[in-house]
Amino acid sequence: MSVEPTLAGSEDTREEHKTSLLSRLGTYLDDAMIMRTAFYGLAIGVGITLVLDYREMLKADDAAPVVTPRRDNPVLPAFVPQTQTEGEERVQTPAPAITTPSETLNEPMTIKLESGGILRMTGFIDVGTAEIFNKEVEGISEYVKSVELNSPGGSVFDALAISTKIREFGWTTKVSKGALCASSCPLIFAGGEKRIAEEGSGIGVHQFFSFGEDTRSASEAISGTQSTTARITRHLETMEVDPQLWTHALETPPQQLYYFSQDELEKYKLVSN
């Protein structure tokens, strides 16, 4: 008799437990739904922000100026006249008449093989020109006999590398009448197994300098200058050119240009006899 009430009480307890469990489960599912919704909303918001930031970054890149190694290179610096004695008179030598337009000289160097085995190199020696030179002559070196230069100079290290390569090939270098070979260009010219400078050509040097802002300390700048000068001196000696030639470069400011006379070109062995 007493068993039934006990059974009835257990049934009620079970129903209460079920109701409580379903209630907690519903609450959990509601909380999980809210958290997922919030997470997805946050992810979408971050994605939209990234897309907008990326578009702004692209706009900024399009508006940014392109920086090149060359900055307003002075193609034809002021001529430093030389005084010579003729009899009892002292006269100044005129600057050579450069016939190539300044616009052409200030363009990045072009390297073109022409008839007769002439490799014509015209324009400014940018950083990286030596690498371009190596690619251009690859496969055609056997057809090249001479290199004709017409350049206001540029990167010293690229000029040294090109000069060394020209000597390896045993090519002749030449500066024709009306053509310019200035600043670092004479270093390329020195690489010729045979070197020809026609009367009326312009071969000149001045102090080398850094393009753009130089962030080095004074001691670092001096050390770099001395190291570069030593490298140039060794290169000229290797090419059988009198390194005293470079004294005129060290004495001439970057805003000016020291042109060599024909006698000086022979004296310093920059041209072949």
pLDDT digits (tens, 9 = 90+) for 149-188: 999 999 999 999 999 999 999 999 999 999 999 999 999 9
| Segment 179-194, tens digit of pLDDT | 999 999 999 999 999 9
Q: What is the pLDDT of residue 6?
A: 33
* CA angle centred on 109, ends 104 and 112, rounded to 5°: 100
Region 45-63 average pLDDT: 40
Helix 129-137, helix 156-169: angle, nearest 10 = 20
Question: Rounded to whole angstroms, how far apart are CA atoms 159 and 185?
Answer: 7
Q: What is the pLDDT of residue 256?
A: 84
Query: What are the residue ranges spanned by the domains of the chain?
Result: 1-64, 78-267
Lowest mean pLDDT among 94-98, 181-185, 231-235, 266-270: 94-98
Q: Is 113 exposed, middle or buried (0-12, 13-18, 19+ CB in 10 A)?
A: middle
Question: Per DSSP, what are the bridge partners of residue 259?
Answer: 204
Question: Rounded to whole angstroms, how far apart are CA atoms 31 and 54?
Answer: 34
| The pLDDT of residue 262 is above 60 | yes
Region 12-24 average pLDDT: 55
pTM as predicted:
0.68
- In percent, the amount of the chain with pLDDT more than 70 equals 61
Highest mean pLDDT: which range of 7-21, 47-61, 145-159, 242-256: 145-159
Mention every residue, 6+ apart, whose C-beta is less than 8 A from residue 75.
102, 105, 106, 152
CATH 3.90.226.10, applies to 78-267 = yes
Beta carbons of 158 and 188 less than 8 angstroms apart: no
Q: pLDDT category, 96, cuts 50, 70, 90?
A: confident
